[in-house]
Amino acid sequence: MPSKAAYDPRYDPLVAPHPGQGRDYAPTYWVGTAGEPPADDGPVAGDLDADVVIVGSGFTGLAAALFLAREHSIRATVLEANQAAWGCTSRNGGQGQNASGRLYRSQWIERWGKPAALRLDAEIREGFETFKSLVREFPECEPQPGGHLYIAHRPEKMDFLRRETQVMRDVFGYDARMLTAEEVRTQYVNDQECHGAQHEPDGIGVHPLKLAYSYLREARALGVKVHTSSPVTGFETRGGVHHLQTPGGTVKARAVGFCTGGYTSFGLHPSLDAKIMPILSNSMVTRPLTDAEIDATGFRTHQVITDTRTLRYYYRLLPDRRVQIGSRSSVTGADAPHPRHMAVLVDGLHRKFPALRGIQIDYSWWGWVDVSHDMMPRIAQPDPASTVFYALGYGGNGVSFSAHAGRRLAQRIAGQRLPQFDLPIYHGELDYPFMFNDIRLPQSRLFAPVRRLGQRALYHWYHWKDEGRI
């Protein structure tokens, strides 16, 4: 097995030509506790012919390859720049929710109308069932079912939660319910910022890397090839055949599916350039809590939890009694290692749980999230005349829906035509509006600083709103 290149904590998809080659994993809790990675097929070594190539071996790419083999008898070749599940799949919070993208269901109604919103909800629900079926199949991923707790971090957020809960119940038929602050503290968790919460029964916490490793093992058992240390450094289509250049050779394929998420670099393929905004998210994990600390923090649940900040905190109690918490991070990769970004998480942990002030932090990391122009994912074929597809843009809600996105991507690649494909997340391509003073800027990494200036300003605005200062 080739030696691994060092992990690059400053990697930034807006400025780097690709994520590297053969780089080691980020130092996440998931990597530290997942055990030895399953075998893969090593780097591409010479020119190859493939029926289908999947670029990216995260949740979506591995699920797509798995379903191509299981349901369509197509044995895909997966190309991964670094290690299997190296990107966001090994860096997220492991929160599986009945959602995808960043929009609430009331916003679906506002944007697309009630009939379309109902159909989209049915598709997202089916997606959560796809995820649950895989979790049942691979229990080694340490599932923590029970639901999702959405905590109002300020009193003013309770009205928002009440409205969303009513919509979920009356329009979509969910058994969502409101909880008082006292009910949350006595039945779930003693979050000191809590002013009440919405509880929805659909939510499962998982060990994301153990789940991804299970996808990998099963896919390879069905004949899928997974080539690590094989970044795509060039792409050309000639005579309807796609030629993907890697350092080890050219891979030819009749169809290609891009599943690169927040690690999508400029120049990978024209249909992907500047179509998402990569956003960094920070995460950390404490040492295991003592009995006294469990009592002081009031953790009576292992359910997944988020709060109502725009720059939200997401957290939960892990099976080994550690607390995992995540939130926003740096604007640029170059600035990501600065201690002030971890300090945001530490401060959030202390405000929510004063009893944990000074607790040892055993793991700290960050990763890139793929945010689309309309805050919803796309599983699309951008050019009907070309057999190039992509699935990305989850906006931080991809742990569960990525499984279904992989399944739908496999169906599209296999040539199926389903009624669901006229839904907004399937028929519209990604198109990130790259604007400055109403002028559309070229889709070039040269304009990355302009995008980052806007992001920095938005972060300041969101922070002041989240904390009730404006």
Give 299-314 pLDDT, tens digit per residue.
999 999 999 999 999 9
Residue 196, in any domain of the structure: yes
Mean pLDDT (whole number) for 150-166: 98
Task: Compute CA distances 162 → 41, 169, 196, whole Å.
Answer: 51, 11, 10
Expressed in angstroms, the distance from the first to the final Cα of the chain is 55
Q: Is the pLDDT of residue 293 over 50?
A: yes
Residue 80, in any domain of the structure: no
Q: Residue 200 — φ and ψ, nearest 5°?
A: -120, 140
What is the CB neighbour count within 10 angstroms for residue 144? Answer: 21
pLDDT class of 406 with cuts at 50, 70, 90: very high
The residue assigned the tokens 């980020």 is 26
Q: Is the pLDDT of residue 439 over 60?
A: no
Residue 433 confidence (pLDDT): 53
Mean pLDDT (whole number) for 46-53: 98
Taking the alpha carbons of 314, 309, 353, 98 in that order, is the dihedral positive or negative?
negative
Tokens of 354: 């004063």
Give SS3 for 325.
strand
Q: Are the C-beta atoms of residues 281 and 328 closer than 8 Å to each other? A: yes
Residue 181, in any domain of the structure: yes
Q: Is the pLDDT of residue 179 over 60?
A: yes
Q: Is the pLDDT of residue 168 over 70?
A: yes
Paired with 52 in beta bridges are: 255
Residue 20, in any domain of the structure: no
Residue 109 confidence (pLDDT): 98
Burial class (CB in 10 A: 0-12, 13-18, 19+), 249: middle
Percentage of the chain surpassing pLDDT 90?
86
Burial class (CB in 10 A: 0-12, 13-18, 19+), 185: middle
Residue 437 confidence (pLDDT): 41
CATH code of the domain in which 345 resides? 3.30.9.10
Residue 470 confidence (pLDDT): 62
Domain count, the chain: 1
Residue 327, in any domain of the structure: yes
Q: Is the pLDDT of residue 137 over 90?
A: yes
pLDDT class of 434 with cuts at 50, 70, 90: very low
Those residues whose C-beta lies under 8 Å from the C-beta of residue 66, and which sit 6 or more positions away, are 215, 218, 219, 222, 224, 406
Residue 457 confidence (pLDDT): 86
173: left (phi over 0), alpha (psi -120 to 50) or beta: left
Helices vs strands, H then E, count in the chain: 12, 21
Residue 448 confidence (pLDDT): 60
Alpha carbon 146 to its chain's center: 21
Euclidean distance between CA atoms 211 and 218, whole angstroms: 11
Q: Are the C-beta atoms of residues 435 and 441 closer than 8 Å to each other? A: yes
Q: Residue 388 — φ and ψ, nearest 5°?
A: -115, 130
Tokens of 166: 């009513």
Residue 148, in any domain of the structure: yes
Euclidean distance between CA atoms 361 and 292, whole angstroms: 18
Residue 1 confidence (pLDDT): 52
CA angle centred on 384, ends 382 and 387, rounded to 5°: 85
For residue range 353-404, what is the model confidence (pLDDT) as tens digits?
Answer: 999 999 999 999 999 999 998 899 999 999 999 999 999 999 999 999 999 9
Alpha carbon 173 to its chain's center: 26
Q: Are the C-beta atoms of residues 257 and 409 closer than 8 Å to each other? A: yes
Domain span holding position 290: 144-202+278-369
Residue 312, in any domain of the structure: yes
Residue 382 confidence (pLDDT): 94
Q: Residue 23 — φ and ψ, nearest 5°?
A: -70, 150
Residue 254, in any domain of the structure: no
Beta strand extents in 376-462 (DSSP E only) = 378-380, 388-392, 435-436, 439-440
Task: Compute CA distances 117 → 111, 114, 295, whole Å.
Answer: 9, 5, 42
Alpha helices for 40-99 (secondary structure H)? 59-72
